[in-house]
Amino acid sequence: MKNHVEARNIVKRFGPTTALDGAGIAIAEGETHALVGRNGAGKSTLVSILTGLQRPDEGEVRFAGEAAPALGDRDAWRRRVACVYQKSTIIPALTVAENLFLNRQTTGRLINWRALRSRARELLETYEVDVDAAALAGDLGVEQRQLVEIARALSFGARFIILDEPTARLDGPAIERLFTRMRALREQGVTMMYISHHLDEVYEICQSVTVFRDARHVTTRPVEGLPHDELVAAMTGEATAAYETRPRTAGERVVLGASALTLAGRYREIDLSVRSGEVVGLAGSASSGKVSLAETLVGLRRADSGTVTIQGTPVKPGDVPAALRAGLGFVPEDRHHEGFVPLLSVGENATLPIAHRLGRFGTVSAARRRAEAVRMIEDLDIKTEGPDQPVGDLSGGNAQKVVFARALADDPAALVVINPTAGVDVKAKQALLGAVEDAVERGAGAVLVSDELDDLRICDRVLVMFHGRVVKDVPRGWTDHELVAVMEGIQE
Amino acid sequence: MTALTASTPRLRLARFRDLTLVPVIVLLLIAGAFLDPTFLTAGNLTNVLQQQAAISLLVLAEALILISGKFDLSLESIVGMAPAIAVMLVVPVSAGGFGIELPGLLVIPLCLLVGALIGAFNGFLIIKFQLSAFIVTLAMLIIVHGLQLGPTEGKTLFELPESILYLGSALWLGLPASIWIAGLLFAAGIAGLAYFRVGRSLYAIGGNSDAARAAGIRVDRVLWGVFILGGTLAALAGVLETGRLGAIGSNQGVGWIFMVFAAAVIGGVSMDGGKGTVLGALTGVLVIGLVQNLLTLKGVSGFWQPVVYGGIILIALMISRVAGGKAQD
Ligand SMILES: Nc1ncnc2c1ncn2[C@@H]1O[C@H](COP(=O)(O)OP(=O)(O)O)[C@@H](O)[C@H]1O
Ligand SMILES: [Mg+2]
């Protein structure tokens, strides 16, 4: 089989960092080829080179044996390669139709908006995307936005598509729908490059896999018959055992409780009690209300009715500081938005909630903060130049560890963790789950909300939500199939 | 799917968002008619438009720059400096010139050229040098004004060539030429941003410049063009203002930039880029012009007027917050 796409000996430097160091990839025509590697391995950099957004310092890209077009010739690139980038390229303030035809709204001089909308409708129909062409793109959900990106990418007629971590922000059913679509494309002979941290997805839809580590190409193998550990070992450079969940027995004391919580349109009549020494999972599809419920527990949202108690005392609804004072620690869903202040240092971010303990009369002792921060960096194995590095410079997994450090700084009695491992690589994921279990062993009670079944394995029991209600309390020992069936509302 | 069904009603409102000030304008016209009999006369309204013509060009320029996701404070200094320098290149030393005495007909092209060059220099520092637009244009606000004060030594230029006075004082078809000029430029701006690819590219760049680049838009080139256009429009505003007043004072344009931002922002142009329309910005100018006129007619002391402007800005912001439904930052 001939190589449809080939990148050879690519070197790309950003100032002092070498993002790619003689790395390459060869993708055969018609296959779905996975590219995996830890955060910062250089995957997205390769994507920007393969799509002509950046010029490699060295090396060459070839499509079907021919040299790649000149960098300025965007249209030529787009006829060869389509891409759904890791960072969304949808412009929220513009309509779906205009996003689909960005910078090619018309071939003539004047834009005919009506014609543009009908072309957009046709395009959406062709790719079976059920979205209103006249809607503002900013009003779409994550999945729909992504579908719009896919439709746009395909509309240039490229026979090669790159998907950079498309599933990081999708829930289970949406991922399934994406895969159905990808399989259909493959049947039409489309070649794909697929980037994901979820190795099970790689096994599910890819035929070959290339591993990058520290800016270099490590191996390229057929997926079939490739043992899981070997793949993980290639990514991390060492043998890494699969995560072992730990057994434990829950205490008696209820550290976090909810009674009759209701928030219109999100969830109804939720009762919950989390005991010390227990991890309770919350699972469900995107519309199940699990994230809203967790956000209510920590005070980011205010319920219409019902109460939240932390260590037996009711907390004022919708008041995060009150919840924190009552002994709560939490990891929010969107770490970039609510999790950390990117320009502040690792040390400052991690010690924000305990700043009051680090000095007197409103001052913060720099030396004590440093000491605390150094301890946290060690505890959670945060890869950083030191406590003074801004968190904004860290890779996804390490930034998330800082958010964890902050949540755990005050030794919380109750811990609420929302989608902690989204966009985080294998090893960092294990460290984060380990941190939750450590905290619980120290006597905390935890609520873990996750779209990832693997994360939920550390839970002593999983509450499955469906359309705003808890429909089942599943004890340890479930299989993926069982849990998904309940999440989808297919009760036995 | 939930997101989809929810989007429809919001969309309708969003489409009219740049017209949220229209009811305010109607309200002002009605209230004005009751408050003062001279307010709703053709003469007075023409007067309002003529007074706003120059500043409205700055609002147009700032709206384009803000929509592209950038920022320019230096526009107000160009309003005085560009015509002053152009005039000094033309008039004899006795009238305060440099003694170069270029032909008088060149004064407007020279003025526009000076504005364009300042815009190009801003663009160079912000786009090629990647400096913060806020700080660069803050520095340029001071420098450009200094470049007027230095050569003129702070004096007012009285003896001006005929050609620079013409546009700001002539009548075309019974209306001041400056109203025609501002009107035509706004019409061009509205059409350009709604119906041309370059115009749409400003929204793409302001909304997400990486996405714009990926879509093949030459982001740097477009942005540079916008800064140059902005400087040129500010220089033209200077020409109109010079013609209206018949002289170039050392503080021509000084302090305008606050009103310019206020007009653009209450007209629905977002400070974060990618949102707003030229039509919206125009309604912002009109609101401020009408309020100014009413206050003057009612004899409100000039010392108290700033309080009212500030209040108007806040109220307009609240109205558009309610109409737009989204939090502003
Ligand atoms: N535009 C950029 N400027 C500076 N450094 C960058 C840039 N893009 C990527 N990098 C760096 O290059 C390395 C590889 O990044 P990336 O390709 O995004 O990794 P991955 O997608 O595998 O997680 C990282 O160390 C990252 O910080
Ligand atoms: Mg990446």
Q: What pLDDT is recorded for position A63?
A: 94
Query: Is B11 part of a structural domain of the chain?
Result: no
The domain tally of chain A equals 2
- Closest approach of chain B CAs to the CA of A254, in angstroms? 35
In this complex, the residue of A88, A102, A140 whose CB is nearest that of residue B7 is A140
Is residue A248, in this structure, part of any structural domain at all?
no
Instruction: Let me know whether A193 and A219 are in one domain.
Output: yes
- Considering chain A, what percentage of its residues have pLDDT values greater than 90? 47
User: Are A354 and A410 a contacting pair, CB within 8 Å?
Assistant: yes
- B7: nearest CA partner in chain A: A139
Residues A175 and A203 in one domain: yes
Parallel, antiparallel, or unpaired: how do β-strands A191-195 and A58-63 relate? Answer: unpaired
- Cα–Cα distance, B52 to A150 (Å, whole number): 47
Q: What is the pLDDT of residue B16?
A: 63
Cα of A19 vs centre of ligand 1, distance in Å, is 6
Domain assignment present for residue A382? The answer is no
Nearest CA to ligand 1 atom 7: A14
Q: B208 contacts in A (CB within 8 Å)? A: 88-92
* Residues A192 and A267 occupy one common structural domain: no
Q: Are A463 and A272 in contact (CB under 8 A)?
A: yes
Res B4: pLDDT: 35
Helix, coil or strand: residue B263? helix
Closest by Cβ to B197, choosing from A85, A106, A287: A106
When pLDDT is cut at 50, 70 and 90, the band that residue A241 belongs to is low
Residue B5 lies in a domain: no
How far is the centre of ligand 2, averaged over its atoms, from the C-alpha of A162 (Å)? 12
Domains: count for chain B:
1
Residue type, B21: L
Asked if residue B174 has pLDDT above 80, the reply is: yes
Average pLDDT for residues A372-388, to the nearest whole number?
85
| % chain B with pLDDT above 70 | 92
* A277 and A199 within one domain: no
Phi, psi of A178, deg, nearest 5: -60, -45
Q: What pLDDT score does A237 carry?
A: 78
- pTM for this structure? 0.80
In tens, the pLDDT along A133-145 reads 999 998 888 888 9
Give me chain B's average pLDDT, please.
89
Find the residue in B nearest to A83 (Cα): B214
Of A12, A20, A44, the one to substitute when testing ligand 1's pocket (max ligand atoms within 8 A of C-beta) is: A44
A234 — pLDDT class (breaks 50, 70, 90): confident
Task: Report CB contact under 8 Å: B208, A90.
Answer: yes
pLDDT of res. A228: 84
User: What's the CA gap between A322 and A300, in Å, rounded?
Assistant: 11
Q: Which of A101-115, A162-176, B303-317 has the highest mean pLDDT?
A: A101-115
More confident residue, A390 or B197: B197
Task: Grade residue A491 by pLDDT with cuts at 50, 70 and 90.
Answer: low
Residue B22: strand, helix, or coil: helix
Q: Are B7 and A139 within 8 A, CB to CB?
A: yes
State the pLDDT confidence band at B2, using cuts at 50, 70 and 90: very low
- Give the pairing type, strands A32-36 and A58-63: unpaired
For B287-317, how does the pLDDT look when each residue is reduced to its tens digit (9 = 90+)?
Answer: 989 988 998 888 888 888 888 888 877 887 7
The residue with greater pLDDT, B35 or B78, is: B78
Asked if the model's pLDDT at residue A348 lies above 90, the reply is no
- Look at A389 and A444; give whichever has higher pLDDT: A444
Regarding whether A205 and A160 lie in a shared domain, the answer is yes
Residues of B in contact with A53 (CB under 8 A): 213-214
Based on the fold, state whether residues A201 and A292 are members of the same structural domain. no
Q: Which domain holds residue B159?
A: 18-324
Secondary structure E strands in A29-137: 32-36, 58-63, 66-67, 82-84
pLDDT of residue B326: 55
In a domain, A216, yes or no: yes
Tell me what pLDDT residue B325 has. Answer: 53
Residues A414 and A441 in one domain: yes
Confidence at residue B58, expressed as pLDDT on a 0 to 100 scale:
97
**Predicted pLDDT at A439:** 92
**Ligand 1 centre from A40 Cα, in Å?**
6
A389 lies in some domain: no
More confident residue, A308 or A199: A308
Confirm whether B1 is domain-assigned: no
Residue B133 within any structural domain of the chain: yes
Question: Does A98 sit within 8 Å of B210, measured CB to CB?
Answer: no
Give residue ranges with CB within 6 A of ligand 1.
A 14, 17, 19, 37, 39-45
Residues A162, A277 share a domain: no
* CB < 8 Å & 24+ apart, contacts of A73-77: A74/B215, A74/B216, A75/A156, A75/B216, A77/A51, A77/A52
Ligand 1, atom nearest to A39 Cα: 23
Say whether both A312 and A166 belong to one domain. Answer: no
A282 & A210 share domain: no
State the pLDDT at residue B12.
47
Does residue A430 register a pLDDT over 50? yes
**How far is ligand 1, taken at its centre, from the CA of residue A37, in Å?**
12
Kindly report the protein residue whose alpha carbon is nearest to atom 18 of ligand 1: A44
Task: Assess whether A186 and A308 both reside in one domain.
Answer: no
A16 and A157 both lie in a single domain: yes
Of B232, B237, B202, the C-alpha closest to B219 is B202
Instruction: Report CA(B219)–ligand 2 centroid distance (Å).
Output: 23
Q: Atom of ligand 1 at shortest distance to CA of A43?
A: 22
Per-residue pLDDT band at A61 (split at 50, 70, 90): very high
The CATH number of whichever domain residue A447 belongs to comes to 3.40.50.300
Q: What is the pLDDT of residue B8?
A: 42
State the Cα–Cα distance between residues A247 and A131, nearest whole angstrom.
Answer: 46
Residue A447 lies in a domain: yes
pLDDT above 70 for B323: no
CB-based contact A92 B196, cutoff 8 Å: no
Contact A445, A276 (CB under 8 A): yes
Ligand 1: atom nearest CA of A215 is 14
Does A359 fall in a domain?
Answer: no
Name the burial class of residue B162, with classes exposed (0-12), middle (13-18) and buried (19+) by CB atoms within 10 angstroms of its CB: exposed
We report the CATH number of the domain holding residue B120 as 1.10.3470
Helix (H/G/I), strand (E/B), else coil: A14: strand
Mean pLDDT of chain A: 88
List pLDDT tens digits, range B4-44.
Answer: 333 344 444 455 667 778 888 999 999 999 988 999 999 99
| A188 pLDDT higher than 60 | yes
Confidence of residue A72 (pLDDT cuts 50, 70, 90): confident
Residue A54: give the domain boundaries. 3-90+140-236
Determine whether the interchain pair A287/B14 forms a contact, defined as Cβ–Cβ distance below 8 Å: no
| End position of a domain, from candidates A236, A269, A300 | A236
pLDDT for position A368: 83
